[in-house]
Amino acid sequence: MHDHASIHEGDAAATRPLVEVVSSHDAPAIPAPAELMTIRVTLPPGSAGTPPHRHSGPAFGYVVRGELRFELEGEPERAIHAGESFWEPGGDVIHYQDANNLSDTVTEFVVMMFGVPGEPMLTLVDPEELESRRSLRAPRP
């Protein structure tokens, strides 16, 4: 049995976990009732990802490796690098891009999303709706 009081301070400091806040946001509206799902997405090099879509509730993600090209309706396209996080409110907002921004390596991210039980976690947006909402998309680079 170890006497925890006798551990040297230097030893204790070396074994303490490092806790860092990666991101912080006001809590978005969560559907009621809600289901929480965690998914891992692996995008091959150069993958265009999923076509424009939406989620029934908010999603919070973290890029594990690689670089994600990310675009939500009303926001400019941006790159999210390994070690960075992202979120989207879900609901009516269109998620235009979640592509691998790198042509020579895999990009992997983990997402926790709240959805409506019994509804798909992802719904593709048809071309007619994309056209009707064109004015809501941020200018393209």
Split at pLDDT 50, 70, 90, the class of 9 is low
pLDDT in tens, 51-67: 999 998 999 999 999 99
Q: Are 68 and 80 in contact (CB under 8 A)?
A: yes
Would residue 141 count as lying in a domain? no
Would residue 7 count as lying in a domain? no
- Maximum distance among all Cα pairs of the chain, rounded to whole angstroms: 70
Q: How many domains does the chain fold into?
A: 1
Cite the beta strand spans of 49-136 per DSSP E: 53-54, 59-65, 67-72, 78-81, 85-88, 95-100, 107-115, 123-124
Would residue 19 count as lying in a domain? no
Amino acid at 75: E
Would residue 12 count as lying in a domain? no
Does the pLDDT value for residue 5 go beyond 70?
no
**Residue 78 belongs to domain spanning:** 35-134
